[in-house]
Amino acid sequence: MLGNNVNYRIPRNLLFIFELMTLALMFLYYKDTLNRITVIYSLTLILLVYISNFLLLRITSGDNYIFLIVTMLVSIGVIMIYRINPELGMKQILWIGFGIILFFVTYILFKRIRGWENWFLVYAIGSVILFILTLLLGRSIKGAVNWINIGGFSIQPSEIIKILSVFLIASYYTNYDKFNKMKFGNYYLMGIMYIFVMFLFLQKDLGSVLIFLSVFIALQYVYEEDRKLVLINLSILMVSAIAGYFIFSHVQSRVHTWLNPWKYIDSKGYQITQSLFAIAEGGFFGTGLGLGYPEFIPEVHTDFIFSAICEEMGIFTGIGIIMLFLILVYRGFKIAINQKYRFYKIVALGISILFGIQSFIIFGGVLNMIPLTGITIPFVSYGGSSMLTSFIALGILQVVSEELDFDEE
């Protein structure tokens, strides 16, 4: 039936038009400082996106939407970043390009290589090594020791560890019976997860703690047969959340700022109130690209890119982005349900929850619906390591969406 192909053309072409129009607008805005390289890179990216979507449709038997959705998210994000700071915009274009390439590489590698479910120890030890490296070499940015500098590039190991831990949990539950037979086998996973959490605490990266634990608890809820472990986990989470509030002063500070940012408007509430101003000024349709003042928000290219988007492109665009993430997460869950091999199911589930929880936390924080944490929006915020690991995760998800058929049934 030819109907299918025609239908896929519509969103692909819409995306193409959107990218061209926003790009043209931005070129007009920056017409005085435009140089040829910028034009070449951006047009190349638009072409790359179009071809990738087209290609993917042909070569995969799995999901056709997640990549499409992600490329739209990526486009909105990069245009906003470019508008705020053309230099960062250019870098983001490069990251996206690498990300797309990495997506295809991951797709091929993950499909070809088998036996991922057996490398429990590899994941565990690898993560711990990364954690230790972070603690040793890491630099503290905005209060969290998160980054390692390697030859001029900053990478966030915690992003890689997120994926590794999803694999860890998946391999655990795939080989659940084996672990059950071992002494204390039941508690291996919990133990390791809590070691991770401890590392994260040492790094003072509390936002990541939230993400890790959410993913863990969700997966545990679905797959753990010993139900009381789930309850134990939940209770530990709640107790430590409350304890964290009382022990850590900056947790208290975050909560106070969340409850009444206006009181601290000139100190710790400055960021969030500026974000609220931006969102309020935008109205439903926004002020128009280039006509707002997103530069008034500190850290606007990372944490608060969403506020800038709401200011210049309107609440409707903000809601659109939320909807896109929702569809992405929904597709991920659907992929997990459809996949028959347990390991891949859990991996898909874990990645979807990662995308979902991460974006929810940052959207909620930026709107002051929940306290702020230092997390970035996957695909939209500026950031190399975040972009690359997100595309890797997407590549893995794409593989799982296909009907895998291994001979040992």
With contact defined as beta carbons under 8 Å apart, do 63 and 401 qualify?
A: yes
CB of 102 to another protein, least distance (A): 22
Q: Of 130 and 222, which has the nearer Cβ to another protein?
A: 222
CB of 152 to another protein, least distance (A): 34
CB of 205 to another protein, least distance (A): 22
Q: Of 191 and 290, which has the nearer Cβ to another protein?
A: 290
Tokens of 224: 């753990």
Q: Is 125 strand, coil or helix?
A: helix
Q: What letter would DSSP give residue 262?
A: T
Q: Of 89 and 157, which has the nearer Cβ to another protein?
A: 89
CB of 154 to another protein, least distance (A): 29
**d(C-alpha 237, C-alpha 214), whole Å:** 9
In 10 A of CB 179, how many CB atoms? Answer: 18
Q: Of 144 and 211, which has the nearer Cβ to another protein?
A: 211
**d(C-alpha 332, C-alpha 239), whole Å:** 31
- Phi, psi dihedral angles at 34 (to 5 degrees): -70, 140
- Phi, psi dihedral angles at 140 (to 5 degrees): -90, 120
Q: Of 64 and 146, which has the nearer Cβ to another protein?
A: 64
CB of 49 to another protein, least distance (A): 13
Strand ordering across the sheet containing 144-150: 139-141, 144-150, 153-155
Q: Of 62 and 383, which has the nearer Cβ to another protein?
A: 62
Q: Of all helices (H) and strands (E), which one includes residue 251?
A: helix 249-259
- Phi, psi dihedral angles at 101 (to 5 degrees): -60, -45
CB of 74 to another protein, least distance (A): 13
Task: Looking at 138-203, list the stretches that DSSP marks H as alpha helix, in order from N- to C-terminal side.
Answer: 157-174, 176-181, 185-202
Burial class of residue 175 (count of CB atoms within 10 Å of its CB; 0-12, 13-18, 19+): middle
Q: Of 6 and 37, which has the nearer Cβ to another protein?
A: 6
CB of 245 to another protein, least distance (A): 21
The alpha carbon of 321 is separated from its chain's Cα centroid by a whole number of angstroms, namely: 13
